[in-house]
Structures are given as C-alpha cells and as structure tokens.
Amino acid sequence: MDLSVLKELTQLFGPSGHEEEVRNYLLQKYEELGLTTLQDPFGNVFGLKKSLLSNPKKVLLLSHMDEVGFVVTKILENGTVKVTPLGGFNSETILSSRAILKKQNGEFLYGTALALPPHLLTGKGNDKTSIEDMCFDFGFISKEEAKKEITIGDPLILEGKFSLIASGKRVLSKALDDRMGLAMAINMLPLLKKELPFDLYLGGSCQEEVGLRGAKPAVNFIKPDFVIVIDCSPATETEEGSLNHGVLLRVFDRAMIARKDLIQFQKNVLEEHQIPYQYYISKGGTDAGEVHQACEGIPTLTYCLCARAIHTPSSVLDVKDFENAVMGLKYLLESLSNEDIAHFRYEK
C-alpha cells in the first residue's frame, strides 16, 4: 500500500488551533478524489462522496487534524522562551528534542528543548523536569533579538521525521496520532468497489488534543446519521493493545462506553474478511466522546489502531496493521446499509 499520503500528512505543521497546513492539504486531496469539499466555521473540513439514491442517510468518517504541541507564553532575557502545552505530554520525552516554531508570517524557526540546571528546578532534588521548568532555544542571544522574530502565542511542535524502519515493517514519525486516521480514509476511498447507499463524508476535526473541541461543531454542521471515528491509541504492549495485532475493538474509555451492537457489527465484518482485531480499553478518549452525544445521540463507532510512544516525535506504527485497517474500513462501509443505520438509530 502506498504510504506517501501518511508520510506527507505526518510532516505537516498542525498543533491544536493551528491546523491550517493540514486543512489545506485535505481540501486538495479531497478535490483530487472527486469529492465535494466543505468547511465549517470552526475550521473542520470535509469531503463528500454523494450517493446515487434519493434522500440517503449520512455517514461521517472523522479523524482529527491536530497534533500535540506548544504555544509561547514568555520570552526570557537570554532569548529563550517558555511554553505551555497543547495536549498531553510526558515531560521526560521532550528534553533535547528538536523544535519547530511557526512565526506570525508563516516562516519557521528551528531550535531545541532545554532545561534548567538541577539545582534550579522547582522540584528541588526531583530529577524529572516539569514542562514549566523547560525553555526552548531558537538561537537568539537576547530578549530584544528574540522579540523581533517571536510573538507570545506562536505555536511550536517537536520535530519528528518520517522513516520506514525494520525493513519497512514499521513507521517511525511524529503525529501518527491522528494523521494516521486521515491517511487511512484517503487510502480507503479508491478501494471501494460498489456504490454506497449513503452519502459518505471524510472529515478532519480541529483541536481534539485539547478537549475534543472540534467534534461537536463538526457533527452539528454535517448532521450525520452514523459516525466512525478513526484514531490512534497508545500501545500498552499487553495482549490488548499491541502492534501487529490488528484493529482495536475499543469497548470503553473515559469519554464513551461503546454500544455492544456496534462492536458486534464491527467484529462480524472483520471476522468475515479475516482482518485481525483485538479488544481494547483506554484511559483516554477520542472525538467519539463528543460525537455520540450530539444531535440527539448519534450511533458512533471507534475504529482505531495502536502505536507506540504516541504524543512524542518518535511514534511507531505497524505497517501491516495500517494496511489491514484500511481494508477493514472498506469492508465496514460496503457492509453498512441504510437499514443497518436505521436499526442502530432505533428508527421504526
């Protein structure tokens, strides 16, 4: 399977609230795929594949565009900057990482994450450096020099190049959470072999990493009848949540209790087409947490893969998992009927 879309998406700059590059990329890709493009006032984007039927149901595939990152909150006298995180970080994964800052004019600055000496840490004797103790160095020698280039509120991310490792069996990159989901939908669309009985929307949501903020505007804009949220979950390296073990049947997380009938539908389709799957329980959440409560309650299925070291610039994804998941998504859509959707919506 061609991984070029995944590579291109992961390398775009797009922390929460600053998804412009990803948004523009998706709009172009959706047009290339012959989809009608839409954008809501919040900044979420969609590509529509119309059904040939009259009055069809609406199905939305939703993946979030944003990646974890930071914004500048203070410029120090020595020209380095303090930041606040956009999304969840383990602080131990940040120090000495290369950083990319996007200026107000769209140009990029390149630097690194530093830390104060141990005797100046607020923890006093604690070897773990908190994010509030860190500073980022972009090479400026003074506050005055830095202020000519950097503005409070400028976004930055950690640099993480895309590489195929283990003889092409694994992907190493930043932002697999959740550019993987966006790439999965794009890779899947040309594989559909039959006309779908519903309108299909491919969607990219904003600001998932800072509280699922884009999900509700997205579904209020599209008003779908059924939603599949595609996301990337942390590999726990247990029997549930391991690389090369397939699609996640995500039955429970802190934001949503999955419906048993939807999990059974997912399981039946995957088994029929011999797509590997594994059960998964998460302490985190996805856009599904907001989606399934919107518009009087939308039947919502999560469709996830796991990756190692998500929310770092060095996440690892299994290529076979990705390929199988793309095919599984195709089979799910080809198996889904308007009658199924009506049943899941408890329509009489």
pLDDT by 10-residue block (mean), the chain, 348 residues: 96 98 98 97 97 94 98 97 96 93 97 76 64 94 97 98 97 98 98 94 98 96 98 85 95 94 98 97 93 93 97 97 98 96 91
pLDDT digits (tens, 9 = 90+) for 92-129: 899 999 999 999 999 999 999 996 666 665 555 556 78
Yes or no: say if 140 and 72 are a contact pair by the CB < 8 Å rule.
no
What pLDDT score was predicted for residue 124?
52
CATH domain 69-158 topology = Elongation Factor Tu (Ef-tu); domain 3 (2.40.30)
Domain boundaries, the chain: 4-67+174-344, 69-158
pLDDT for 239 equals 67
Q: Could you confirm whether 271 is annotated as catalytic?
A: no
171-204 burial string, b = 16+ CB within 10 Å, else e? bbbbbbbbbbbbbbbbbbbeeeeeebbbbbbbbb
> Alpha carbon of 135 to those of 113, 146, 247: distances in Å?
6, 13, 38
Count CA atoms closer than 13 A to 315's CA, side-chain side: 30
pTM: 0.94
DSSP codes of every residue in 4-38 = HHHHHHHTS--BTT--HHHHHHHHHHHHHTTPEEE
Q: Do domains 4-67+174-344 and 69-158 have the same CATH topology?
A: no
Number of other CB atoms surrounding residue 300 within 10 Å: 28
Identity (one letter) of the amino acid at 207?
Q
Q: Give per-residue pLDDT as tens, 294-336.
A: 988 999 999 999 999 999 999 999 999 999 999 999 999 999 9
Q: Amino acid letter at 6? A: L
- The runs of H, that is alpha helices, within 121-199 are 143-147, 176-188
Contact assessment for residue 345 and residue 199, using Cβ atoms and an 8 Å cutoff = no
pLDDT on residue 127: 63
Structural class in CATH, domain 4-67+174-344:
alpha beta
Note the pLDDT of residue 1. Answer: 82
Catalytic residue among 208, 237, 240, 296: 208
The string of pLDDT tens digits covering residues 22-42 is 999 999 999 999 999 999 999
Q: What's the CA gap between 36 and 27, in Å, rounded?
A: 9
CB-CB contact of 27 with 37 (8 Å): yes
